[in-house]
Amino acid sequence: MFQVVYPFGSTDCMSLEITHLGSGSRGNSILLQSDESKILIDCGFSLRQIESRLAKINVSGDEIDGVFVSHHHGDHSKSAVRASKKWGARLYSNLETAIKLGIRPIEEVRTFSDLERIQLSSDLSILPVPVPHDDAENVAFIASNGDGRRAAIVTDLGEPTVELMKHLHGCEHISIESNYDLGRLMSGPYPPALKRRISGRGGHLSNEQTADILSEICHPNLSSIVLCHLSEKNNAPHLAESEVLMEIEEKFNGDLSISLQDGPEFSHWLGQEDSISVRNIV
């Protein structure tokens, strides 16, 4: 049995809560909750898994207002269509992703364009920002609360773009992939073509690239960072963490956490430095 531990007075009005339900090549999903809206960013586990993970933090699928899909790869979209239908939640993706998922625009999905702000309620809006990823029209998401405070969710990209960096500046929370350690990838068992694809422009971010991005956009109000989508074969939490800390230690005073495949593990609130554990209390 699990328990969410809420700190007293941590949730001022207009707060935005970010809970990682799990992240990695076997599935990704993040729950965003404001006072007025609850949405999932990606739905890459089976429907049963998603519902079970939500139940551990006392959220029912029926409470979810929207499901945003970053791109069509199964680890991000697996049960998105089924979940949105079952829960009566609106499905959101860009047109290319909708086509690749075989769903009908307008009838089954609300399609968005790059950089089109979607206002879900007075205290939550979402901005999709295109990022390079092989064979997929992938987007990162910038979530804003009603006070103009922002959180970023960035996975599955080979390199950052100027546009993305612009939107990451000033975010108070950043969830970003730290997919592989370059040394482990290159000395590992993958065939050369796959190594090139992963480390190429349309692949994933290495620990070093992620550290460089965070170093560039780090600012005094950046209160929490979550490293996610770590490769189980080509990375390890201590490698990702040490690479990032080496770059940002002197300028970052917030909480650095790592989201792995099995969640939910913790929640963050915009503007709050400490993560709150979603602890196993058996």
Residue 156 found at the interface with Zn ion (CB under 5 A): yes
Cross-strand pairs, 3: 279
- Amino acid identity of 279? R
Does the protein bind Zn ion through residue 137 (CB under 5 A)? no
CB 65 within 8 A of CB 90: yes
Point out which span in 46-54, 75-83, 240-248, 262-270 binds Zn ion (CB under 5 A).
Answer: 75-83
Quote the least distance from Cβ 48 to Zn ion, whole Å: 20
Bridge partner residues of 32 (DSSP): 18, 39
Give the nearest distance from C-beta 105 to Zn ion in angstroms.
21
Nearer to Zn ion, 149 or 195 (CB): 195
Least Cβ distance, residue 81 to Zn ion (angstroms): 17
Segment interacting with Zn ion (CB under 5 A) among 13-21, 48-56, 150-158, 273-281: 150-158
**Given the structure tokens 């950089």, which residue do they identify?**
115
Q: List for the chain the helix, strand, coil content (%; round to 5).
A: 25, 30, 45
Q: Is 73 in the site for Zn ion (CB under 5 A)?
A: yes
Nearer to Zn ion, 124 or 153 (CB): 153
* The one segment of 152-160, 210-218, 257-265, 266-274 that binds Zn ion by CB under 5 A: 152-160
75 binding Zn ion? (CB under 5 A): yes
Q: Which residue has the tokens 């307008």?
A: 106
Query: Which stretch, 70-78, 105-113, 183-191, 239-247, contacts Zn ion (CB under 5 A)?
Result: 70-78
Q: Which of 93, 278, 244 is nearest to 174 (CA)?
A: 244
Least spacing, CB of residue 76 vs Zn ion, in Å: 6
Asked whether position 177 contacts Zn ion by CB under 5 A, the answer is: no
20 binds Zn ion (CB under 5 A): no
Reference 207, options 176, 175, 186; nearest CA is: 176
Q: How far is 3 from 159, CA to CA, in rounded Å?
A: 37
261 by DSSP, 3-state: which?
coil
124 within 8 A of 143, measured Cβ to Cβ: yes
Binding residues for Zn ion (CB under 5 A): 73, 75, 156
